[in-house]
Structure 1
Amino acid sequence: MQVRNSSSQFGVVSIIVHWLVALAVFGLFGLGYYMVGLSYYDEWYRQAPDIHRSIGILLFIVVLFRVVWRLANPVPRPLPSHTRWEVISAHLAHGLLYILLFVAMVSGYLISTADGSSISVFNWFEVPSVTGQVKGMEDVAGDVHYWSTWAIVVLAGVHALAAIKHHIMDKDNTLRRMLGVGH
C-alpha cells in the first residue's frame, strides 16, 4: 500500500489518521458523556477529565497534521458513479467536520484554562493558558463545547451511514478506499 494518496486510493497515512481521529472523537465523546455524571467522591472525578484533556490536546495535534497532510496529498477523485449532489455534500460534510473538530477542541481548551491554569498532557508536557483568568469563559466555552461535540457525533454518524450506503446499496468502492482494500 502506498504512503501518499493517489488519484484513486487513499494512502496508508490518510487511512490511519482518519481512523485514529474517528476512534479518538468517539472515545472522547463517550468519556465526556460519562464524566458529567460523576460525583465529587467518585474515584474517576479527577482522573477522567485529565485523560479527556490530554487526549483532546493530542487529537488537536493529529488533526492539525491531518489538515497539512490533506493539503499536501489531495484526496482521490470521486468515483464516476457519484452524483454531483453526493460530491458536493461530501465536501461540505468534511469541511464542517473539520470546523466542528477545531471548535470543540478550542472550546475544550478554553474551559480548562479559563482560570489561567495550564493543561498537563499525561505529565509529558504542559499547554499554558493563553487567556489568563477570564470570568465566565468556562460557561460560554462549555456551551460551545457541548453543542459542537453533539454536532460532530451526529455528522460523523451521517458520514458513516453514507459510507455504508455506498458499500451496501451502491456497491461501489467508497468505503473500501478508506479501508485500504480493493480498487
Structure 2
Amino acid sequence: MRFRNTESAFGLIAKLFHWLVALLVFGLFGVGLYMVDLTYYDNYYQTAPFLHKSFGVLLFVLMVARVLWRWTNTKPAPLATHTSFEIKVAHVVHLGLYLLLLSTILSGYLISTADGRAIDFFGLFPIPSVTGNIDQLEDYAGSVHEILAWTIIVVVVLHVAGAVKHAVIDKDQTLRRML
C-alpha cells in the first residue's frame, strides 16, 4: 500500500486520517453525552472533561494535518459510475463535515477557556485562553457546541448511508477505496 494518494486510490495516510478522525469523533461524542449528566460526586466528574478536552485538541491537530495533507496530495478521481449529482453531494457532505468538525472544536475551546483558564493537554502542557474571562461565553459556546455535535452525527449518518448505498446497491469500489 502506498502512503500517498493516486488518481485511483486513497493512500495509507489519508485512510489513517479518515479512520482516526472517525474514532475520535464517536469517542468524543460518547464522552460528551456521558459527562453532561455527571454530578460533583461522580467518579469521572474531573476525568471525563479532562479527557474530552485533551482528545478534542488532538482532533484539532489531526484535522489541521488532514487538511494540509489533502491540499498537498492527489485527490483520487470519482469512479466512472458516479453521477454528477453524487459527486456534488459527496463534495458538500465532505466540506460540511470538515467545517462542522472545526467549528465544534472551536466552540469546545471557547467553552473550556471562557473563564481565562488554559486547557491542560493530557497533563503535558497548557493551551492558553485567547479570550480571557468573557461573561456568558461558556453558555453561548456550549449551546453552539451541542447543536454542532448533533449536526455532525446527522451528517455522518448521511455519509455512512452513502457509503453503504455504494457498497450494497451500486456494488462499486467507493467504500473499498477507504478500507
Scaled to the shorter chain, the TM-score interval is: over 0.9
CA distance in 2, matches of 1:125, 1:159: 35
Give the C-alpha shift of residue 41 in structure 1: 0.5
Q: TM-score, normalised on structure 2?
A: 0.99
Q: What per-residue deviation string (whole Å, max 9, x for no partner) do you get for residues 124-161 of structure 1?
A: 11100001000000011001100001011110111011
Percent identity of equivalent pairs: 52
AA in 2 matched with 1:80: A
Q: What per-residue deviation string (whole Å, max 9, x for no partner) do you get for residues 156-182 of structure 1?
A: 111011101100110000000000xxx
CA distance in 2, matches of 1:15, 1:176: 11
Runs of 4+ in structure 1 deviating by more than 3 angstroms, as ranges, are none
| Structure with bigger RCO (C-alpha 8 Å, 6+ apart) | 1
User: Which 5+ residue runs of structure 1 have no aligned equivalent?
Assistant: none
Aligned pair count reads 179
CA distance in 2, matches of 1:125, 1:91: 37
Q: What per-residue deviation string (whole Å, max 9, x for no partner) do you get for residues 28-68 of structure 1?
A: 00000011111110010110000000000011000000000
Q: TM-score, normalised on structure 1?
A: 0.97
RMSD, aligned CA: 0.6
AA in 1 matched with 2:175: L
Residues 62-101 of structure 1 correspond to what in structure 2 (within 5 A)?
62-101=62-101
Q: What per-residue deviation string (whole Å, max 9, x for no partner) do you get for residues 106-138 of structure 1?
A: 000000000000000111111000010000000
Residues 8-157 of structure 1 correspond to what in structure 2 (within 5 A)?
8-157=8-157
CA distance in 2, matches of 1:72, 1:43: 45
Give the C-alpha shift of residue 74 in structure 1: 3.1
SS in 2 for 1:44: coil
